[in-house]
Amino acid sequence: MPSTEAIKNHKHLQFLGKRLHNPNLWHLTRHSVANAFAVGLLAAWIPFPGQMVMAAFGALYFRANLPISVALVWITNPITIPPFFYAAYMFGLFLMGRDLPEGNMEFSVTKILEGIGDIGGPLILGSLVIGAFCSAGGYFGIQAFWRYIVLKRWNNRKQKSQTT
């Protein structure tokens, strides 16, 4: 992984200005990690190429930890994409009040391109709704987990100081 300084000084990234110099992009704080989970999990559910780029720009905009945001996108990888996006498609059909189309499902590039209009709407709707729920769950889950860990450490310190 390139160093922080190398990224900040890269000539093609200068258009990002001071946003790239925000310390939250590189440090592990409760807010930067929680924001990273929100951004990364939402980007993971977007059914278009370029999820990592979207996560990186989302991290810059929301001051999230950049490496975590980009890494979380890999939850949807070549192995997990078919079941994840099939579930998103089915959920989108449910939200739209539509039934599964009749007929044989053939997985070929031609059939997919012919049926993109029928597939696209439910897939995008289902992906965005599931992505929003995962994003919110990731954000609040990390906030709660971080708070739990901090309180546990404080209580341990308090017990140690009382016994000595």
Which pLDDT value is given to residue 26? Answer: 81
Predicted local confidence at residue 155, as pLDDT: 94
Residue-by-residue DSSP string for 37-101:
HHHHHHHHT--SS-HHHHHHHHHHHHT--HHHHHHHGGGS-TTTHHHHHHHHHHHHHHHHT-PPP
CA 119, distance to chain mean position in Å, is: 23
Q: Whole-model pTM?
A: 0.80
Residue 47 and residue 124 in contact, taking contact as beta carbons nearer than 8 Å: yes
- CB atoms near residue 50 (< 10 Å): 12
pLDDT band of 65, cuts 50, 70, 90: very high
Count CB atoms within 10 A of the CB of residue 70: 22
Tokens of 117: 């209009």
C-beta separation of 21 from 117 below 8 A: no
82-130: per-residue pLDDT in tens? 899 999 999 999 999 988 877 666 666 676 666 677 788 899 999 999 9
Task: Tell me the per-residue pLDDT of 6-21, one tens digit each, with 9 for 90 and over.
Answer: 766 777 666 666 677 7
Residue at token pair 């559910």: 45
- Domain range summary for the chain, segments of one domain joined by +: 22-163
Checking if the pLDDT of 143 tops 90, the result is: yes
Q: In 3D, which of 35, 30, 27 has the Cα closest to residue 59?
A: 35
The DSSP line for 106-163 is: --SHHHHHHTHHHHHHHHHHHHHHHHHHHHHHHHHHHHHHHHHHHHHHHHHHHHHHHH
Of 2 and 27, which is predicted with more confidence? 27
pLDDT in the model for residue 112: 63
Residue 162 has pLDDT above 80, yes or no: yes
